[in-house]
């Protein structure tokens, strides 16, 4: 168990719908990353939050948004869903230590989203 919790584990929804994926980082971790992994594909970086604020943005569609709350949990909102949005969505967290290079990313088990 990595200490990162993602819910739900599985989600099936119809095209055009909106879903929210939730991530609880490890205790003490301030950074949360969201990644999308399509079938047999790599990890596509979507967005990163640090201590409640957006820090970096990757290849995230305008239909997608995220936020990190004061208790450090994060939510990824996916709207106007399309078939191509079907994927495994991972959340990872890491501690942002003052000293550089001391920050392993721990992954949650992912949320498998299927859009039908």
Partner 1 sequence: GENVEQHPSTLSVQEGDSAVIKCTYSDSASNYFPWYKQELGKRPQLIIDIRSNVGEKKDQRIAVTLNKTAKHFSLHITETQPEDSAVYFCAVLNNNNDMRFGAGTRLTVKP
Residues lying near partner 1 in the complex (CB under 8 A) are found at: 2, 31, 33, 35, 40-43, 45, 48, 50, 55-56, 58, 90, 92, 94, 96, 100-110
Q: Which is nearer to partner 1, 34 or 64 (CB)?
A: 34
Least spacing, CB of residue 38 vs partner 1, in Å = 11
Q: How far is the CB of 16 from partner 1 (least distance, A)?
A: 28
Q: Among residues 67 and 107, whose Cβ is nearest to partner 1?
A: 107
Please count the other Cβ atoms lying within 10 Å of the Cβ belonging to residue 49. Answer: 23
Characterize 95-112 residue by residue with b for buried, 16 or more Cβ atoms within 10 angstroms of its Cβ, and e for exposed: beeeeeeeeebbebebbe
Residue placing its CB nearer to partner 1 in the complex, 60 or 79 = 60
Q: Is residue 8 reached through a cis peptide bond, with omega within 30 degrees of 0 on the bond before it? A: yes
Q: Which is nearer to partner 1, 2 or 20 (CB)?
A: 2
Cβ proximity of 70 and 80 under 8 Å: no
What is the smallest separation between the CB atom of 113 and partner 1, expressed in angstroms? 15
Among residues 50, 46, 4, the alpha carbon closest in space to that of 24 is found at 4
């Amino acid at each position: 168990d990595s200490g990162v919790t993602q819910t739900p584990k599985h989600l099936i929804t119809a095209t055009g719908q909106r879903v929210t994926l939730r991530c609880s980082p490890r205790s003490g971790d301030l950074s949360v990353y969201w990644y999308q992994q399509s079938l047999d594909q790599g990890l596509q970086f979507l967005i990163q939050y640090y201590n409640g604020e957006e820090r970096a943005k990757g290849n995230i569609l305008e239909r997608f948004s995220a936020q990190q709350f004061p208790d450090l949990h994060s939510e990824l909102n996916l709207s106007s869903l399309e078939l191509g949005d079907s994927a495994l969505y991972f959340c990872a967290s890491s501690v942002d230590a003052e000293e550089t290079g001391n920050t392993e990313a721990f992954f949650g088990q992912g949320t498998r989203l299927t859009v039908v």
